[in-house]
Structure 1
Amino acid sequence: MTDQQPAQQFAQESTYPPGAQIVVRDEEWLVKNVTRTTDDGDRIEVVGISEFVRDQESVFFTELDDVELMDPRKTTLIDDDSPNFRRSRLFLEAVLRKTPLPQSERGLALADSFLLDPLPYQQRPAQLALSGKNLRPRMLIADVVGLGKTLEIGLTLAELIRRGRGERILVVTPQHVLEQFQHELWTRFAIPLIRLDSAGIEKVQREIPAGRNPFTYFKRVIVSIDTLKNTDQYKHHLERIAWDAVVIDESHNLINRGSLRNQLAQLLAPRTDALILASATPHNGNARSFAELIALLDPAAIRDPERYEAKDIEHLFIRRTKVSPEVRDQMKGQWADRGPSESVHCAATPAEEKVFEELAQVWLPGEGKSVSDVPLFPYTLLKSFLSSHVALKATVEARIKTLTKKDAPTATAAELAALHRLRELTADMSESESAKFAALVHQLKAIGVGPRSETRVVVFSERVQTLEWLRAAVPVALGFKGKALQEAARVMHGGLSDEQQMQCVEDFGLADAPVRMLFTGDVASEGVNLHRQCHQLVHYDVPWSLIRIEQRNGRIDRYGQAHPPQFRALILTSGAEGAKDDRTVAERLLEREDEAHRNLGTAEAVSGLYRAEAEEKSLIQDLLRGRTVDESLQQTAEEAGGTDDFLADFFGSVGEEAAAESTAAADVPRLFTGTREFVDEAVREVYPDAQKQLDMDHDTKTGLISFKPPPDLIHRMKALPPDYRREQRLGERLLVTLNRKLANLSLVRARESSTSSWPEISLLTDLHPVVEWLTDKVLVRLGRQEAPVITADVPAPTYLIQGIYSNAVGRPTVVKWMAVTGDKATDDMVAILRRAGVGPTMANPLRRHNLNSLQAGIPAALEAAETFLSERSADWDKALIEPIEQYKQRLSQWEQPTLAGEQTRAKLADLADSLLTTGRPMLRVLAVLNSAAARV
């Protein structure tokens, strides 16, 4: 670069890196994030720093506005009169923090920064996302129930944010885990998500300008899949948005082609850079369906959807079980081993025996024909009765109502008569005639559930009628009275709204909430954390699916469980001849699930069907053929053998080589020892009298920092969950800390509160809005295009220069922090600063430097820096080119006979090329080191 090159050319050939200052519409702005658009050039997200627009957030497009990136040759040098050169050191640290890590950096930068145990197995999904094995950070996290997939997602998103690839995030989950997911990402990672769902949208809509797309107004949102799948309502919004990252939890629900969920996934997948799918049961037993799920991540990963191997997609998925070596070794002492599944035999009462006899003789005879012409309906009756007489009544009434709607032939008349006999047998039955009810009350008392106990239990049943009956009757039988009688139990099933379901889960997880029993259906068997205050689970009835049993047990048998989970199942037994009681199916399935869990870590592959509904249907059909449970499981596994070899690979533990890989740490240059030192010095610089200016109280003994947030910080906090802002009254006072133990204690106490599950004190991670706010405040302490001069121990003036190469989509591929002395440039800026004595203990002699002379040396220093970069760029690009070329090679072998397939291939090839370094580097003068002995 020479003096003759115009500044405009320099600006046109450069990107606008986060932390840089630009001028748009005659106002100064600080760049926060940049993305490339198809038609409008670079999309630049900024915050105002000049007086008129200070702290205002905005977005500019380079094709629509004149965006002036400061010509680095016109940098103005200034003396720094702050103590210990604090202003300069903070400025340099802020630039280091605001600059995204380059595409070539594969290590983890923030793994040890958050409120969670540093477990390498939970860090490996983030490592896979950044590994370069895939063109983009896209993967399926398929860990079994309870290993902490939400934490793995949080770590991955945090690393993407640090790389400038996580500004716009969409999280899609089932409705009953919305609040849980939102809570985990904020309290543990300081990643705020705004809930745009039913009541959530009502709480924020008054903040949205009329007609504004809520998905553009809020950058990081969480929505239930049941809300978002209504593509007619949201499609026009979603089609106009490009996301940095999309997360879809319980992604096995996306598989059915043509379903609303599948249409939603097909809409979102091409409109996001990073895509994270999560499911403990991602395979439905059909190779083609699973290939379609993988195609959301990478359309070219599988050449033949009927025939492929696990190694074809190993760069796109990660799968571990509790018995995987890396998990087992790392979880010692942090996840109590589960106890055995105890079968509690309940001998049928005389009234129940009459029902068993009627079912055995009329509906499910060992020989002869059933009274029903519908083969599966007798088993529907049996399962209803094995749940409760209340559920059987409801099933009988529903069937009678169905049959009486049409002209009944002779066979239907006989079935109606049999139904009326069952109705008579159950008409007057009460709790005293239910063997399982008596056993449940006895078991609950034995484990300590009662009016004067803190013990909690979750009771599962498949039937809503059973749940409602138990909710009303069990607290009375246990001796709860008065107000406690109404508060002791909650019932949760799919008939409740998402708000009601989330409230049930939250109440059950708060230590000082009065709820002691949660009666729930299988709506709570996926994704819900019930282990915070509970390690006791009772199957009032047992689902006829190994997968469903495992999913139920996983609600309390999961990472973070401090006590050995205890499982009990009520097994109704009968002495009636030919009766199919719970010993026929339920007890044997419990034994098989327990065996599979201990030997394999999961039970889902035992039947080879991989879907709970398919398992149950197949089992009932085999029972009709006279097979036992063991014969049925063996037969279905053999019949599923076409995909069994692949699934054995895919659903097995990770390979030894992958498990043995250490989680590499990123090379993140820092001038300060950590966030604590940076925050302390930033507050001193920006608010010299913080006690008065912010009403700040810093308890040095505990580490608690309490202060009144100024208006510009309050404005930023609109990105935080509204419930959290309101309940903790954040607009009046903020409680934050850099003490991890204190933050964790606050989180624990929140779970013990009946008023709010949000902790009062939040941990100041690098991603926390308070840290980001202070970082921006530090950056704008210097004026437009100013750089400080620091008196340091250097032999000659040393220019500190930032150099960034970017790709065609505007993301950094190479970032270098250079020091230029004379015509020699190096990329060890931080090391040179330390050797020169730049640090918190250095003295500032208030030396006045010859700024004109130093400024005259800027063009030559920039030229030396660019020469240094250009001479080495080919070597740095090798790390980027190799995986991209490998992907393009794989893409060339992807056979697609259709026009749509060829168009997809062309788009993916263009995407691969766009990730390569392009153009000249962006250069920025950050500071100059000059000797105290230099002549003025």
Structure 2
Amino acid sequence: MSTTNSGFAPGTLVRARGREWVVLPDSEPDFLVLRPLGGGDDDTAAVFPALEEVVEATFTPPTVDDLGDTASADLLRTALRIGFRSSAGPFRSLGRLAVEPRAYQYVPLMVALRQETVRLLIADDVGIGKTIEAGLIASELLAQGDASRVAVLCSPALAEQWQRELRDKFGIDAELVLPSTAARLQRGLMMNESLFQKHPFVVISTDFIKAHNRRSEFLNHCPDLVIVDEAHSAVADGASGGAKARTQRYDLLRDIARDPSRHLVLVTATPHSGKDEGFRNLLGLLDPALATVNLDDVKGREHLARHFVQRRRADIRRFLDEDTAFPSDRETKEAPYELSAEYAALFDRVLDYAREQITDATTGQPVLRQRVRWWSALALLRTLASSPRAAAATLRTRAASAEASTIEEADALGRAAVLDTADDEALEGIDVTPGADAGDPDEEPTTSKSQRRRLLDLAKAADNLSGPKLDRKLAKLVAEVK
């Protein structure tokens, strides 16, 4: 070890005051700024080499006697990874992600982190990746300790997709809270325990939780971060159709937003339906002042910009020297094909089932249940015409329209699952499973065991049709593409 009083370059290891230090860039030959090994910025000290002994630190080369065990080495490796993850960049969660976000997808996260309590509306165009953007915010708030529990409110048709995205890309293992899972989750609780206490991460059907009794339980144990998908469907816009359902959803979101310390992220591709009232109600959930702020002047727009992110595809095709390829031109072509004998047989079986559902629904069933059965039958036939896998998934899934509490709501959910009402360039929702089980949403699914077995039997038959050998549509598509 040799003593030196000047000329220590930044990054040099030195020994002073009985311990080892790292020389920082602000140092001068006669004034050293040092940070101790294993210490943080709070431990930084200034040393005058003329007054205190500062020597270059050296370490004895390792020998065979220094060999440790695997467990200790693994602990050291883990500690180093945690240390690098916490100090190497502005975001603590990136090291644990299973997805590589594009540059433009960091923008909502950066806007969110500028707020003490996150209140943000993500209104990017369809296909830009709003799910990833919301997941980044959730992952970062959890990593920084600003949030400990997360709830995602979405339509039942998108619940499994949200659960899969959070688990596979962000390592957030969320429980599904749906009419078909609520009873099972309740059975696993202790006395006086809420499922929202037991499960820190949940994906919840908005239409299931909006009922007064369930809403009260949720609000009593509401997580500190709530993400609302398709937020535009939860605010009143002055239209009469589905007004009651929209009011229930809006009351739920308004109660959630009432806690000023709760993080709230709203996600929608259509924040403005053409009616200013609905848009203002949506903004008012983030900040009551936004409901009335004048958006025609600069000050009002600056206020909105702190809580609102909206980009079109054209805005981010090239962002920070990164190109994002979106489909700009599409070629469409119709090509006829014949069903295989096995596929035709399954079609006949499903048609028989659909006819029975419609016939049973018209004999003594309430009008709402009739409408639910009708939409679920149409959704099943649509997915069967799409592909065997889509049909199999639908046969195993609860009908989206079964969540409805009014006829108008059943029609709205049914149209979304059956009709081509989305944007032509929509990439989201392609894999949504509308479901075939039309049980009562307020109770255990009422489909009889024999009927449930019948649905599962049809699903297995659909599984057996996967592949170009029996799925002539797929075979035709492969031939056309090639």
Check whether TM > 0.5.
Answer: yes
1:198 to 168, 179, 183: 179
Equivalent-residue separation in structure 1 for 2:275 and 2:330 (angstroms)? 34
Structure 1 residue matching 2:137: 3-state secondary structure: helix
1:246 is matched with which residue?
A: 226
1:291 is matched with which residue?
A: 280
1:126 is matched with which residue?
A: 109
1:852 is matched with which residue?
A: none
CA contact (8 A) 1:123 1:152 kept: yes
Shift of 1:120: 1.4
Paired amino acid for 2:208: T
CA contact (8 A) 1:321 1:327 kept: no
CA contact (8 A) 1:186 1:192 kept: yes
| Alpha carbons of structure 1 residues 307 and 499: separation in structure 2 relative to 1, 3 Å | same
1:323 is matched with which residue?
A: 314
Which structure has the bigger radius of gyration? 1
Shift of 1:307: 6.0
Equivalent-residue separation in structure 2 for 1:196 and 1:100 (angstroms)? 33
Equivalent-residue separation in structure 2 for 1:319 and 1:156 (angstroms)? 16
1:209 to 177, 187, 190: 190
| Alpha carbons of structure 1 residues 91 and 274: separation in structure 2 relative to 1, 3 Å | farther
Structure 2 residue matching 1:275: 3-state secondary structure: strand
Shift of 1:273: 2.6
Paired amino acid for 2:372: G
Equivalent-residue separation in structure 2 for 1:101 and 1:161 (angstroms)? 13
CA contact (8 A) 2:253 2:285 kept: yes
| Alpha carbons of structure 1 residues 174 and 488: separation in structure 2 relative to 1, 3 Å | same
Say yes or no: does 1:481 pair with 2:469. Answer: no
Say yes or no: does 1:553 pair with 2:416. Answer: no
CA contact (8 A) 1:287 1:306 kept: no
Structure 1 residue matching 2:121: 3-state secondary structure: strand
Equivalent-residue separation in structure 1 for 2:226 and 2:423 (angstroms)? 27
Shift of 1:89: 6.7
Q: After the TM superposition, which residues 225-236 of structure 1 pair with which residues of structure 2 at under 5 Å, given as runs?
A: 225-230=206-211, 232-236=212-216
1:853 is matched with which residue?
A: none
Segment of structure 1 superposing worse, 147-156 or 321-330: 321-330
Q: After the TM superposition, which residues 259-658 of structure 1 pair with which residues of structure 2 at under 5 Å, given as runs?
A: 259-271=247-259, 273-301=262-290, 304=293, 309-326=300-317, 330=322, 332-333=324-325, 335-339=326-330, 446-452=334-340, 480-483=343-346, 485-486=348-349, 495=372, 523=413, 548=421, 551-555=422-426, 557=427
Equivalent-residue separation in structure 2 for 1:503 and 1:192 (angstroms)? 29
Q: What percent identity do the matched residue pairs reach?
A: 21
Q: After the TM superposition, which residues 736-775 of structure 1 pair with which residues of structure 2 at under 5 Å, given as runs?
A: 754=463
Equivalent-residue separation in structure 1 for 2:110 and 2:273 (angstroms)? 27
| Alpha carbons of structure 1 residues 484 and 252: separation in structure 2 relative to 1, 3 Å | closer
Say yes or no: does 1:146 pair with 2:127. Answer: yes
What per-residue deviation string (whole Å, max 9, x for no partner) do you get for residues 174-194 of structure 1?
Answer: 122112211221122221111
CA contact (8 A) 2:380 2:391 kept: no
| Alpha carbons of structure 1 residues 447 and 126: separation in structure 2 relative to 1, 3 Å | farther
What per-residue deviation string (whole Å, max 9, x for no partner) do you get for residues 866-913 of structure 1?
Answer: xxxxxxxxxxxxxxxxxxxxxxxxxxxxxxxxxxxxxxxxxxxxxxxx
Shift of 1:98: 9.4
1:155 is matched with which residue?
A: 136
Paired amino acid for 1:280: A
| Alpha carbons of structure 1 residues 524 and 181: separation in structure 2 relative to 1, 3 Å | farther
State the TM-score, normalizing by the size of structure 1: 0.30
Shift of 1:485: 4.1
Paired amino acid for 1:118: P
Equivalent-residue separation in structure 2 for 1:508 and 1:117 (angstroms)? 35
1:173 is matched with which residue?
A: 154
What per-residue deviation string (whole Å, max 9, x for no partner) do you get for residues 768-812 of structure 1?
Answer: xxxxxxxxxxxxxxxxxxxxxxxxxxxxxxxxxxxxxxxxxxxxx
State the TM-score, normalizing by the size of structure 2: 0.55
Paired amino acid for 2:182: I
Paired amino acid for 2:346: K
What per-residue deviation string (whole Å, max 9, x for no partner) do you get for residues 606-635 of structure 1?
Answer: xxxxxxxxxxxxxxxxxxxxxxxxxxxxxx
Equivalent-residue separation in structure 2 for 1:209 and 1:96 (angstroms)? 38
Shift of 1:93: 3.7
Shift of 1:295: 2.5
| Alpha carbons of structure 1 residues 513 and 176: separation in structure 2 relative to 1, 3 Å | closer
| Alpha carbons of structure 1 residues 332 and 292: separation in structure 2 relative to 1, 3 Å | closer
Structure 2 residue matching 1:259: 3-state secondary structure: helix
Equivalent-residue separation in structure 2 for 1:233 and 1:296 (angstroms)? 22
Root-mean-square deviation over aligned CA pairs: 4.8
Equivalent-residue separation in structure 2 for 1:497 and 1:155 (angstroms)? 39
What per-residue deviation string (whole Å, max 9, x for no partner) do you get for residues 740-785 of structure 1?
Answer: xxxxxxxxxxxxx949xxxxxxxxxxxxxxxxxxxxxxxxxxxxxx
| Alpha carbons of structure 1 residues 170 and 500: separation in structure 2 relative to 1, 3 Å | farther
CA contact (8 A) 1:166 1:244 kept: yes
Equivalent-residue separation in structure 1 for 2:180 and 2:388 (angstroms)? 25
CA contact (8 A) 2:383 2:391 kept: no
| Alpha carbons of structure 1 residues 505 and 140: separation in structure 2 relative to 1, 3 Å | farther
CA contact (8 A) 2:85 2:92 kept: no
Equivalent-residue separation in structure 1 for 2:128 and 2:69 (angstroms)? 47
Shift of 1:129: 1.3
Shift of 1:170: 1.1
Higher RCO (Cα < 8 Å, 6 or more apart): 1
Structure 2 residue matching 1:187: 3-state secondary structure: helix
Equivalent-residue separation in structure 2 for 1:276 and 1:233 (angstroms)? 24
Equivalent-residue separation in structure 1 for 2:216 and 2:131 (angstroms)? 29
Structure 2 residue matching 1:324: 3-state secondary structure: helix
- Note the residue ranges of structure 1 that are not aligned, 5 or more in a row: 1-79, 343-442, 453-475, 531-537, 540-547, 562-752, 756-936
Equivalent-residue separation in structure 2 for 1:481 and 1:85 (angstroms)? 60
Paired amino acid for 2:103: P
1:97 is matched with which residue?
A: 82
CA contact (8 A) 2:124 2:310 kept: yes
2:68 to 79, 83, 87: 83
2:204 to 219, 223, 235: 223
Equivalent-residue separation in structure 2 for 1:506 and 1:108 (angstroms)? 41
Equivalent-residue separation in structure 1 for 2:353 and 2:308 (angstroms)? 37
What per-residue deviation string (whole Å, max 9, x for no partner) do you get for residues 661-703 of structure 1?
Answer: xxxxxxxxxxxxxxxxxxxxxxxxxxxxxxxxxxxxxxxxxxx
| Alpha carbons of structure 1 residues 489 and 296: separation in structure 2 relative to 1, 3 Å | farther
Paired amino acid for 1:121: Y
Paired amino acid for 2:224: D
Paired amino acid for 2:225: A
Equivalent-residue separation in structure 2 for 1:488 and 1:111 (angstroms)? 49
Paired amino acid for 2:280: A
Segment of structure 1 superposing worse, 145-154 or 93-102: 93-102
Paired amino acid for 1:495: V
Equivalent-residue separation in structure 1 for 2:393 and 2:232 (angstroms)? 32
Q: Number of residues paired by the alignment? A: 329
Structure 1 residue matching 2:281: 3-state secondary structure: helix
Shift of 1:218: 1.2
Q: Which has the higher strand share?
A: 1
CA contact (8 A) 1:193 1:222 kept: yes
Equivalent-residue separation in structure 2 for 1:106 and 1:298 (angstroms)? 30
CA contact (8 A) 1:154 1:189 kept: yes
Paired amino acid for 2:247: S
2:449 is matched with which residue?
A: none
